[in-house]
Amino acid sequence: MHNNSGLEPMDRTKTTKLPQLKSSVTPYRPKPTLIHSDSPKLENDKRNGLDLELLDNPEIPSIKRVRWAPMYGERSPSKSGFSSVPLSSKKAQFDQDTADELILANELRLAVHRGGGSIDPDKNYELKARLSPLQLPYSRVQRILKECELSERNHHTYCIPMDYGRQLVAMVCKIRTDNLPELKLRLASLLRQNKARFFNRHLFNETGLIEATLQSVTPLSFDEFNQTLRTDALWCKATDSAIIDLAKGSVLFKCRPLDLQEVEYKLRQCNYKIVHKEVGHCPNKPLVELNDRQMARYQEFRKNLLQDIDVVKIYDNVRVQ
């Protein structure tokens, strides 16, 4: 007998159309919560429910690396192949078993770096001097130079004035780096020990410098050489000239930075062989004379400063004894 016999026909129709609801047979259980434990008696790996046993030798996940530029040499791990070594502030140390090509490759990188970043020997005299005695295949040299060009794209050249020994010596450091604040931080300890700082006293003028040799058939005396040098400097629009080595015929010409290319062209017409040219800095005040003790300390500081690979050259106002 049905229980809904007493209902009206309309109510009976509504009752039969109700959906069949299924009650859950599984009792309600609250989810466990993570309780923080500060007990020092438990190990770190066994707190907060982290009590799973870890493997003694877990597998190291493989990392996919992106290589931006080709490496030097071959990919094989043989002794004959070599890989690139990045430039750093310390001089690279090599073992006796290191391939000669690896050493030569890093010397080329240093020449490109300190020569201004150019891989053209006509524009980079540091590289030109290093390539002349080099005994490597032409294809290998070109591959190394292309890698050097890629690594030098983010580097810039700076000329930073300095003050040594509490205004005893004025200096200008020619620096080539991709991170100037990091370089200053790296040199901070050396500067502090020698009472030096980055400070501009406006004692230098930007000057074009050209080192050359005179290719003369007959040897000249000092007076004849000096007179010829002054005449050529006047015709080539050079502001000053000096004899560096009389026996080798080495001379130095100074000019305005904007006239550097024109002076170089005219010197070549006067039978001069250009050895090096650059826009450097010359003191505009009389040179400073140091005693033996001061000179020894300054030379030691200068040597330590040049050991940093990003310090290319140093100009100062010290008179050479």
pLDDT digits (tens, 9 = 90+) for 64-74: 443 333 333 33
Structural domain boundaries of the chain? 71-153, 156-203+286-316, 205-283
pLDDT digits (tens, 9 = 90+) for 127-145: 777 776 666 677 777 888 8
Q: Residue 292 — very low, low, confident or very high, per pLDDT cuts 50/70/90?
A: very high
For the chain, the first-to-last Cα distance in angstroms comes to 129
For residue 196, the model assigns a pLDDT of 95
For residue 283, the model assigns a pLDDT of 94
For residue 16, the model assigns a pLDDT of 53
For residue 102, the model assigns a pLDDT of 75
CB 315 within 8 A of CB 282: yes
Q: What is the 3-state secondary structure (H, E, C) of the chain?
A: CCCCCCCCHHHHHHHHCCCCCCCCCCCCCCCCCCCCCCCCCCCHHHCCCCCCCCCCCCCCCCCCCCCCCCCCCCCCCCCCCCCCCCCCCCCCCCCCCCCHHHHHHHHHHHHHHHCCCCCCCCCCHHHHHHHCCCCCCHHHHHHHHHHHHHHCCCCEEEEEEEEECCCCEEEEEEEEECCHHHHHHHHHHHHHHCCCECCCCCCEEEEEEEEEEECCCCCCCHHHHHHHHHHHHHHCCCCEEEEEECCCCEEEEEECHHHHHHHHHHHHHCCEEEEEEEEEEEECCCCECCCHHHHHHHHHHHHHHHCCCCEEEEEECECCC
Average pLDDT of span 5-11 = 53
User: Which of 25-29, 248-252, 300-304 has the least mean pLDDT?
Assistant: 25-29
pLDDT at 18 over 60: no
Q: Are strands 272-283 and 240-245 parallel, antiparallel or unpaired?
A: unpaired
pLDDT digits (tens, 9 = 90+) for 228-287: 999 999 999 999 999 998 888 899 999 999 999 999 999 999 989 998 888 999 999 999
| Burial class of residue 11, CB neighbours in 10 A (0-12, 13-18, 19+) | exposed
For residue 45, the model assigns a pLDDT of 47
CB 169 within 8 A of CB 196: no
CATH for 205-283 (3.40.50.80, 3.30.70.980, 3.40.50.10540, 3.65.10.10): 3.30.70.980
For residue 2, the model assigns a pLDDT of 52
HSE toward the beta carbon, residue 61, CA cutoff 13 A: 3
pLDDT digits (tens, 9 = 90+) for 46-95: 444 444 444 454 444 444 443 333 333 333 333 333 344 445 444 444 44
For residue 316, the model assigns a pLDDT of 95
Q: Which token pair is 23?
A: 């009650």
Q: What is the mean pLDDT of the chain?
A: 76
pLDDT digits (tens, 9 = 90+) for 150-163: 878 888 889 999 99
Question: Do 205-283 and 156-203+286-316 fall under one CATH topology?
Answer: yes
For residue 85, the model assigns a pLDDT of 43
Look at residues 318, 239, 231, 232 and name the one whose alpha carbon lies nearest to residue 272. Answer: 232
pLDDT at 211 over 80: yes
Starting at the edge strand found earlier in the chain, the sheet holding 156-164 runs 156-164, 169-177, 311-316
- Percentage of residues in the chain with pLDDT exceeding 90? 40
pTM for the model stands at 0.61
pLDDT at 107 over 60: yes
Q: Residue 288 — very low, low, confident or very high, per pLDDT cuts 50/70/90?
A: very high
Please name the CATH architecture into which domain 156-203+286-316 falls.
2-Layer Sandwich (3.30)
> Does residue 314 or residue 54 have the better pLDDT?
314
CB 315 within 8 A of CB 280: yes
pLDDT digits (tens, 9 = 90+) for 172-193: 999 999 899 999 999 999 999 9
CB 134 within 8 A of CB 101: no
- Percentage of residues in the chain with pLDDT exceeding 70? 66
